Amino acid sequence: MLEHWRPQDCPLEEAEDRELVRQAVAKLPREQAEVVVLKIWEGFTFAEIAETIGESPNTAASRYRYALEKLTRSLQPLTPPQFSTPQQSPAREVDHV
């Protein structure tokens, strides 16, 4: 399945961004990468993915969730500021009176 996926299938505008996404997906464990490609670029449901990979829909969804967590971390530089996760500010000490 992954052999047929190419960076040009990625809907990003910049070729450099498409290549970064391709590299990030390629670094995922094969089982996770396969689910990501099927879900995002092929538009499969988790039931369809489960049937394709021979696993349960819950397993497909779990692999997808773990893959998205990894992709979010590795592609953080591509995330526009309005969509990035807010930085946690250090805890302030509170004076007790």
Hey, is 19 helix, strand or coil? helix
Q: What is the pLDDT of residue 97?
A: 41
Q: How many domains does the chain have?
A: 1
Q: What is the pLDDT of residue 79?
A: 59
Q: Is residue 41 part of a domain?
A: yes
Q: Is residue 21 part of a domain?
A: no
CATH at 34: 1.10.10.10
The tens place of each residue's pLDDT in the chain, 97 residues long, gives 555 555 455 555 677 778 888 899 999 999 999 999 999 989 999 999 999 999 999 999 999 999 999 999 998 866 555 555 554 444 444 444 4
Q: What is the pLDDT of residue 27?
A: 96
Q: Is residue 88 part of a domain?
A: no
Q: Is residue 64 part of a domain?
A: yes
Domain that holds residue 65: 1-6+29-78
Q: What angle do CA 43, 12, 70 make, to 5 degrees?
A: 70
DSSP 75: T
Q: Is residue 49 part of a domain?
A: yes
Distance CA 73, CA 77 (A): 9
Q: Is residue 63 part of a domain?
A: yes
Q: Is residue 39 part of a domain?
A: yes
- pTM comes to 0.66
